[in-house]
Structure 1
Amino acid sequence: MSSTKKLKLEELGRIDVDTFRDTPKIPVTVVLDNVRSMHNVGAVFRTADAFLIQEIILCGITPQPP
Structure 2
Amino acid sequence: MTPQTGFRFADRTRARHAAVHALLAAGHSRRAVQRQLGMTWRTVKALADAVTPEDLFQLVIYPAVSNKLA
Q: TM-score, normalised by structure 2?
A: 0.25
More strand as a share of residues? 1
Q: TM-score, normalised by structure 1?
A: 0.26
More helix as a share of residues? 2
